[in-house]
Structure 1
Amino acid sequence: MAKILIADDSKLQKLEIAKFLIKLGHQVLEAKDGNEAVQIVEQFLPDLVLMDVVMPDCNGFSALRRIKNNEKVKHIPVIMVSTKSEDIDKIWASKQGAVGYITKPVDFNLLENEINKNL
């Protein structure tokens, strides 16, 4: 069982992904934006982060950079989960330190494979 943070401003997206993760036996943490995600990562040290890109206040790319620039938590894998599906978004996420990129609507088989690959 892993501790996985879902950072997404959509309550429905968080609920759908959380249900899936719980069904797989994982513990779920939730954040509503990038700032909260960074705080939760630093406080609870999850095993993996699923991060939306488009969020208020602090977007997913900014939160990803903050996590990867923090020595204490930079080892935690971050998979971006977003409606942004352009190749440039995927490239940018990779350059910022993301280990994967999944587009919405979420393909749960792909999500499970990415999670297993990065835990």
Structure 2
Amino acid sequence: MPVKKVLVVDDSPTERHALSEILRRAGYEVNTCDSGEEAVAQSKVLLPDLILMDVVMPGLNGFQATRVIARDDATKHIPVIICTTKSQETDKIWGLRQGARDYIVKPIDANDLLDKIARLDG
């Protein structure tokens, strides 16, 4: 299923804006939210084709939100790419175990991100 609608989840307004700009310029429809709790709720309402998930957020962190989304029957089909400053291999392994489809370390390289999204379209 081609990716058209993307939900960007990040508690940093700067990061949300930067990711949104990359995606909009590439032709994607973008929605944003600033918390794990909101991501879980919005994923059920918007049913995006992809979620870009930050990890370090107050309240429900990105790993926890990814796990909830990946295990809910209504949202488990939505791929999640974790976008975070957490660059340790153990963080990546943990993120993928929570149900993320891919993992990208900030600062985000636009071409790398768009390549990862294109590979999801398979």
1:1-119 correspondence to structure 2 within 5 Å: 2-119=4-121
Name stretches of at least 5 consecutive residues in structure 1 with no aligned partner: none
CA drift at 1:53: 0.4
Measure, in 1, the Cα distance between the counterparts of 2:15 and 2:29: 16
What letter is aligned with 2:94?
W
For residues 89 and 25 of structure 2, what CA distance do their matches in structure 1 show?
A: 31
After the TM superposition, which segments of 4 or more aligned residues of structure 1 sit over 3 Å from their partners?
A: none
Q: CA deviation at 1:48?
A: 0.1
Kindly provide the amino acid, as one letter, of the partner of residue 108 in structure 2. Answer: V
1:118 Cα offset (Å): 1.3
Under a length normalisation based on structure 2, what TM-score does the superposition of the two structures give? 0.95
Percent identity (aligned)? 45
Deviation at 1:69, TM superposition (A): 1.2
Deviations 1:23-74 (A, max 9, x none): 0110001010100001110111000000000011110001001001100110
Deviation per CA, 1:79-109, whole angstroms, max 9, x where unpaired? 0000000000000011111111000000111
Give the unaligned 5+ runs of structure 2.
none
Aligned CA RMSD, in angstroms, stands at: 0.8
Question: How many residues in Structure 1 have an aligned counterpart in Structure 2?
Answer: 119
Tell me the distance in 2 between the aligned counterparts of 1:43 and 1:56.
22
Partners of 1:61 and 1:116 in 2: how far apart? Answer: 23
